[in-house]
Amino acid sequence: MRCRLDRSSLEDRNQNFLDATAGAGGVELELARAMRESIRQLRKSGGGDLAPLREVADGRAATLLIGEGGVLALAPPGTSDITDALFQLLLIVRAAQGDGTWPRLRVCANDTCRWAFYDRSKNRQGHWCDMAVCGNRLKNRELRARRRAEAGGLGASGVSARSHSGA
């Protein structure tokens, strides 16, 4: 199931990444895209270009919050701009790496999608963000490719089907 985080769902979770008045210019959007790609690479191969992650982290310090029952949480120092929200995302990645849920963050195997998704499957082998959409598309694409190969390829006797045209 695809899940887009919007302002209302974040408010419901008491996680305000951004003030309602925060805006983003071209530089901030490019940094957000670079960070997204960096997290994808990090998740897929364990490496990649970490410069965007370092750019967001540099010069920022998390604030330690103490919640109900003494539960500790890290939060960005503010929510006034896009970089604060990106820093919050880095804190979430850090928490996932610490609590063991990081390996469950996957990148969709559909090269035209590449959404990041949380693998909720029991065996932790999910490949697609949504089986009904990306999984179905890829499986149908592979089926059509196999059928084309069979139609244009060798028949059961090992002789090309096209060589029996009578010519």
pLDDT in tens, 69-121: 999 888 888 777 888 889 999 998 999 899 988 888 888 888 888 888 888 88
- Specify the residue for token string 């804190």: 91
Instruction: Look up the domain containing 132 and give its range.
Output: 103-155
* pLDDT (0 to 100) of residue 21: 62
- What is the percent of the chain with per-residue pLDDT over 70, rounded to a whole number? 77
- Domain presence at residue 28: yes
Q: Whole-prediction pTM value?
A: 0.65
Ranges 7-16, 66-75, 114-123, 154-163: which has the least confidence: 7-16
Q: In the predicted model, is pLDDT for residue 154 greater than 60?
A: no
- Domain presence at residue 160: no
Residues 81 and 137 in one domain: no
Confidence of residue 52 (pLDDT cuts 50, 70, 90): very high
Whole-number Å distance between alpha carbons of 100 and 63:
22
* pLDDT (0 to 100) of residue 165: 45
Whole-number Å distance between alpha carbons of 109 and 99:
25
Residues 132 and 53 in one domain: no
Q: In the predicted model, is pLDDT for residue 10 greater than 80?
A: no
Residues 89 and 117 in one domain: no
- Domain presence at residue 128: yes
Residues 142 and 82 in one domain: no
Give the end of a domain, one of 53, 85, 100.
100
Residues 44 and 125 in one domain: no
